Amino acid sequence: MKTVFVVGAGPAGFYAAQKIARASYPVVLFNRDIKPGGLAEYGIYPMKDKMKSGLRKQFGKVLDLPNVSYFGHLAVGAGRLLQIEELRQWNPAALVFAVGAQGTKKLGLPGEEARGVYSAKDFVYHYNQLPPFATQDFSTGKRVAIIGMGNVMVDIARWLLQDAPDRRSEEVTVIARRGPFEVKFDEKEFDHIEAHLDLRALQDELLRVKDRVAAAGQDITRVPETVFPLLAQPFREAAFPRLRFRFLSSPVEIHPGADGRIARLTVCENLLVAKNGGTAAKATDQATALDFDTLIFAIGDVADPTIGLPYGKDGYQTNPDTADPERAAYEVFDPQNGQVIPGNFVVGWARKASEGLVGMARLDAEKGAAHVLSYLESAAEKAAATPGEIQDLLARRGPELVTKQDLSCLGRAEELQARERGLNNFKFSDDPTMLAAIEEQKNRGGQLSAA
Ligand SMILES: Cc1cc2nc3c(=O)[nH]c(=O)nc-3n(C[C@H](O)[C@H](O)[C@H](O)COP(=O)(O)OP(=O)(O)OC[C@H]3O[C@@H](n4cnc5c(N)ncnc54)[C@H](O)[C@@H]3O)c2cc1C
């Protein structure tokens, strides 16, 4: 029997597992979080109900496959419950890493450790209720800066401007190192927050950077037709709280106040230069201090360096072989001995951090899984530890594992809570409560009662 272990049960883990399991190989999924889904559960905007429940259903169907097992609440990596080496000793025929991009991109700015400074991933984990972030302090103030101008920025601004139950924001400012033509968000996503756009402030900002964008061959008068169509329509006041942009600015220093919370941010002014058919920001020594009480970095993430896979400057090391680059790009490579680690693969955001939507993670995982399948054809038979044996071995170490049967119990407990509270969906926000809810459902024999 050739068993495949998949580490990570986000979209990439599920789509890889599905393809491998449908080819009749037993698959064991190991997941850090109790609940599966990764960013589909804990990153995608909470109000995108239809998309989230559609993905949950798809992942549920993978879990329903009889040859797929699930162990949640089980982080793999250095200093975690399970080391990669131990996984390998359980003799899987192949090991697929689909752990996403859990590392944080640090700019190394002075003052980065001030209170009120967050990474976007942690912030979205918080409002999507992923333990332990759900119960940690992610308080926001009146003047919030978001660094970066992609779709994640739009989600965070949307939360701060419209949906956060405890919102206090009066002004959200997007800070971008390049100019208005380099926005990275989708127009449809921006529609959600467009009503908050402070048009007067935007016009002033465009005037402020006009000459600098012209130096890179861009015409600022084209912004209304290409980037912010609202500017071409009859003027209207922005809805409160207001959304502003500050272009051609890079953060250089964070100044905490007496309470340890960010009070000001110094940004340097950038020039815009034409480069390789695109543009690049070039820092100047001109700096400006801006008042903010909250700062969120939405600049993408990196692969987690503590997992225990060989790590290079772009994340986990993959096979540099150019003879079959398509396949090589999914194979884990050990630069110390210059060899591929046989049967070890990486897929999804673990392979290319912060790249693309769920559809792209799916495509990547399925491509990776196809390479796993061809590897399995000629791989030696190995007597891998069975799910039962794995469960017994891990049970002795303490933390409670969550199996797919437990997930059904959790699903029932959540359904009950949602019903009691008149909500479409309910999620528990800490692990002990989730584990207790699973236990309670087990004790009830899984009966869904209104009590
Ligand atoms: C804020 C935000 C909003 C988004 N909104 C959308 C959207 O609206 N529509 C859309 O299509 N896409 C959206 N995306 C993109 C989408 O979430 C990703 O494309 C997709 O989730 C990547 O899948 P993945 O499985 O590679 O990684 P992830 O989803 O990050 O899954 C990684 C999995 O690995 C597990 N894991 C991590 N570390 C370990 C470990 N050490 N041991 C064991 N398990 C581990 C995690 O628990 C998780 O289950 C959004 C992304 C973000 C950040």
Query: pLDDT, tens digit, for every residue of 51-106?
Result: 999 999 999 999 999 999 999 999 999 989 999 999 999 999 999 999 999 999 88
Its pTM stands at 0.96
Residues 322-360 pLDDT 10s: 899 999 999 999 999 999 999 999 999 999 999 999 999
Read off the tokens for 243: 């959304």
Question: 358: Cβ below 6 Å to ligand 1?
Answer: yes
Residue 121 pLDDT more than 80?
Answer: yes
Torsion sign (Cα): 121, 125, 127, 128: positive
Backbone angles phi, psi at 27, to 5 degrees: -125, 135
Q: Are 45 and 158 in contact (CB under 8 A)?
A: yes
What is the residue type of 392?
Answer: D
Q: Is 30 in the pocket of ligand 1 (CB under 6 A)?
A: yes
Tokens (6 digits) for 120: 């976007």
Are the beta carbons of 329 and 318 closer than 8 angstroms?
yes
265-292 per-residue burial string, b: 16 or more CB within 10 A, e: under 16: bbbbbbbbeeeeeebebeeeeeeeeeeb
Mutate to test the pocket of ligand 1, among 48, 99, 302, 390 (most ligand atoms within 8 A of CB): 99
Taking residue 450's Cβ as centre, other Cβ atoms within 10 Å add up to 6
- In this structure, are residues 409 and 446 in contact, taking their beta carbons and an 8 Å threshold? yes
Give the whole-angstrom CA distance, residue 311 versus residue 305.
Answer: 6
User: pLDDT (tens digit, 9 = 90+) per residue, 189-231?
Assistant: 999 999 999 999 999 999 999 999 999 999 999 999 999 999 9
Predicted local confidence at residue 397, as pLDDT: 82
CB 72 near ligand 1, within 6 Å: no
The verdict on the CB of residue 150 being under 6 Å from ligand 1 is no
Helices and strands counted in the chain (H then E): 14, 18
Buried b (16+ CB within 10 A) or exposed e, 44-63: bbbeeeeebeebbebbbebb
Residue whose Cα lies nearest atom 6 of ligand 1: it is 44
| Centroid of ligand 1 to alpha carbon of 348 (angstroms) | 9
Whole-number Å distance between alpha carbons of 299 and 148 = 5
